[in-house]
Chain A
Amino acid sequence: MRLELKNLYKDFEPRTFLKKKRTSILENINLTIDDGDILGLIGKNGAGKTTLLKMIVGLIEPSDGKIVFKNKERPLFGYTSCNPRSFFWRLSSRDNLIFYGKMLGLNNKGCADSIDNISNILGITHILDMPFMHLSSGQMQSVNIARAILKKPDFLLLDEPTTSLDYEASIGIINALKKYLNEYKIPTIWCSHDYFELNRVCNKFGLLKDKKLFYKDGRVDRFHELAINYEFEISCVDIEKVNLKLRTIVRNRDDKTCYFSLVNSKRDLNDVLNLLKNLDIKIISIEKNFKYFESYVS
């Protein structure tokens, strides 16, 4: 299967009582994904990630441009949104999945087998017979993912699939989905704010910024390795020692500690960590710096 987006545009015209106001959301989006491709889509809140996914699945019509599916006119999409309300809360997870299975055209046996299989893969067998309303938000999200792959989709679109999941559950779901996608080679778009999560599974990366999509093939492992993509928290008294060795941008957290990041450096993270260690500087925390990731991808 292949999905091609050709010169896709989306404007919204919210209509107030007296006038219309046109707002452009996405401009000239071009993208191709094939079997086995997993595109990691990243972008700030309001960048248009969900709008793009909804356009692909047909829930929103593009203002201009084409969405072309090769080999199938009306493909089946597996889609997870962050909205757990799209289930019937008074029914059990199993009853919900049976209902959606029937809507997907599965027969009784096919539906039961698929529920057993998918719940084993995602590790949700123990919650299947609990009323949906008694599940935690993380468990609801797992059932949401189960629904998306209940019948093998032609395309899988995951809109922040690990939202609400704790670290352990999140890793479990990521690994399960990775295994599933590797096995079935389903073309996938995976939206997230966490590029580490994307880096675990995706082989293409896209960034939605200023209404445009920038994307590149290949993993972004190198991003982890560059010290410029991190922000270091150290004691304020140590910053002078750092400035003697590296070009930095510094901002204070309080009187005692401050953050610094590097400027125009191609040093590896490990080099910088060793340097700080040799200078006898204690690192309080290290955080990834998103703005560099954006420029890295684009």
Chain B
Amino acid sequence: MKIFFTKFLAFLLKDIKIAFTYKFNILIQILTILFFLALIFFSLIDSSDTLSQSDVQNKNASFFKILIGIALIDFMFSSMSVFSREIRFAQTYGTFEALILTNTSILTILLSSYALTFSRSIFRIIIYILLGRFIFGLDISYGDIPIFLTLIVYSSLPFIGIGLFAASFIILFKVGNIINFFVGIGSIFFSGIFFSLESLPPFFGDMYNKLPLTIGVNIAEQVLLGDISFKEIYFDLLKILYLIVAFVPSGILLVYYSLRVAKKNGSLNHY
């Protein structure tokens, strides 16, 4: 475990150093966060000056729901796309083979390549929350922030499994990542962030309730906006656990399998 964290930190440090060599990189990211927050806030603002107490609460709830949604989408896309992106990058530049030759396991390489994206996503969410609280008057206590972050990370774990599927696909087929495409658009569509899921035809049944993004949004919303006990979200947490158990080990196995096939084909550094 110590070796893993040493390598994880080495990746993080390397990626931070690279990020800082681009002059406007960090500035653009901060401006993007501010832009999105302002966009959401002003889209929810009521033109009349006199808002009732319940209107304020509703506005707060909507704002918060979109915030959770953005944070989860951010994590979901990061978890899902980072492995395949990093594999693609490493295959294109030849760093993939160089890293494998250091006797570092493929899993360590993949998870460590997530270091910067993971830290950046966490940092971005904290900024969202702090700006939301101080500039946009979001009603959230400091004590809730760790719970919020833990829930978001937990809910995004199934996407790490899917991300590993996608990485396997890239190892073998290089481009045209259909896994990320379908999972990504499916999850966003059925997340309930952009429209009420009640309005969907019955044909879809409760399929959307099984999607980790939807479940994650529900849990985070319930925990942070309502006075709710662990018992009430226990079932949703369990649903995510099932998804983690289903996706993560099979993702790992698939990565090892695709690596083996690529070694057989001699296509490990093809791109």
* A→B interface (CB under 8 Å): 12-13, 51, 54, 57-61, 74, 76-77, 79, 81, 83, 85-88, 90-91, 95, 98-100, 102-105, 131, 147
| Contact (Cβ within 8 A) A61 B101 | no
| Contact (Cβ within 8 A) B100 A59 | yes
- B98 contacts which chain A residues (CB < 8 A)? 86-87, 100, 147
| Contact (Cβ within 8 A) B93 A103 | no
| Contact (Cβ within 8 A) B14 A85 | no
Q: B2-10, B125-133, B143-151, B217-225: which one contacts chain A? A: B2-10
- A99 contacts which chain B residues (CB < 8 A)? 10-11, 13-14
Instruction: Determine how close the nearest CB of chain A comes to the CB of B231; give it in whole angstroms.
Output: 45
The closest CB in chain B to the CB of A57 belongs to B101
| Contact (Cβ within 8 A) A86 B93 | yes
Bound CA–CA A113/B263 (angstroms): 34
Instruction: Determine how close the nearest CB of chain B comes to the CB of A153; give it in whole angstroms.
Output: 9
The closest CB in chain A to the CB of B11 belongs to A99
Given contacts A59-B101, A61-B260, A102-B6, 14 further A-B contacts (CB under 8 A): A58-B100, A59-B97, A59-B268, A60-B263, A60-B268, A81-B94, A91-B14, A91-B17, A99-B10, A99-B11, A103-B99, A103-B104, A105-B3, A105-B103
A83 touches which of B3, B13, B94, B104 (Cβ 8 Å):
B94
- B3 contacts which chain A residues (CB < 8 A)? 105
The closest CB in chain A to the CB of B21 belongs to A90
Q: Which of A88, A99, A103 has the most CB of B within 10 A?
A: A103
Q: 1/0 per residue B65-103: CB within 8 Å of A? A: 000000000000000000000000000111101111111
Bound CA–CA A90/B13 (angstroms): 13
* Contact A79 to B101, CB < 8 A, known contacts A59-B268, A60-B263, A60-B268: yes
| Contact (Cβ within 8 A) A86 B266 | no
A74 touches which of B17, B92, B103, B266 (Cβ 8 Å):
B103
Bound CA–CA A63/B142 (angstroms): 59
B266 touches which of A51, A58, A98 (Cβ 8 Å):
A51
Could you list some 25 contacts between A and B, CB below 8 A?
A51-B266, A57-B101, A58-B100, A59-B97, A59-B100, A59-B101, A59-B268, A61-B260, A61-B263, A85-B94, A86-B94, A86-B97, A87-B95, A88-B95, A90-B17, A90-B21, A91-B17, A91-B18, A98-B10, A99-B14, A102-B10, A103-B99, A103-B102, A104-B102, A105-B3
- A87 contacts which chain B residues (CB < 8 A)? 95, 98
Interface residue count on the B side (C-beta < 8 Å): 30
- B104 contacts which chain A residues (CB < 8 A)? 103
Bound CA–CA A88/B14 (angstroms): 9
B47 interface hit (Cβ, 8 Å): no
Which B169-208 residues have C-beta < 8 A from chain A? none
* B→A interface (CB under 8 Å): 3, 6-7, 10-11, 13-14, 17-18, 21-22, 92-95, 97-104, 260, 263-266, 268-269
| Contact (Cβ within 8 A) A54 B10 | no
Bound CA–CA A104/B269 (angstroms): 20
The closest CB in chain B to the CB of A91 belongs to B17
Bound CA–CA A39/B52 (angstroms): 85
Bound CA–CA A104/B10 (angstroms): 11
Bound CA–CA A88/B16 (angstroms): 12
The closest CB in chain B to the CB of A15 belongs to B265
Instruction: Determine how close the nearest CB of chain B comes to the CB of A7; give it in whole angstroms.
Output: 18
- B6 contacts which chain A residues (CB < 8 A)? 102
- A98 contacts which chain B residues (CB < 8 A)? 10
Bound CA–CA A68/B147 (angstroms): 52
- B263 contacts which chain A residues (CB < 8 A)? 58-61
The closest CB in chain B to the CB of A14 belongs to B265
- B22 contacts which chain A residues (CB < 8 A)? 90
Bound CA–CA A91/B264 (angstroms): 33
- A91 contacts which chain B residues (CB < 8 A)? 14, 17-18, 21
| Contact (Cβ within 8 A) A90 B97 | no
| Contact (Cβ within 8 A) A100 B102 | yes
A86 touches which of B10, B17, B95 (Cβ 8 Å):
B95
- A57 contacts which chain B residues (CB < 8 A)? 101
Q: Which of A13, A86, A91 has the most CB of B within 10 A?
A: A86
Bound CA–CA A85/B14 (angstroms): 16
The closest CB in chain A to the CB of B6 belongs to A102
B14 touches which of A74, A76, A81, A95 (Cβ 8 Å):
A95
- A147 contacts which chain B residues (CB < 8 A)? 98
B93 touches which of A13, A74, A85, A100 (Cβ 8 Å):
A85
* Contact A88 to B94, CB < 8 A, known contacts A61-B264, A100-B102: no
Bound CA–CA A131/B20 (angstroms): 13
B97 touches which of A81, A104, A105 (Cβ 8 Å):
A81
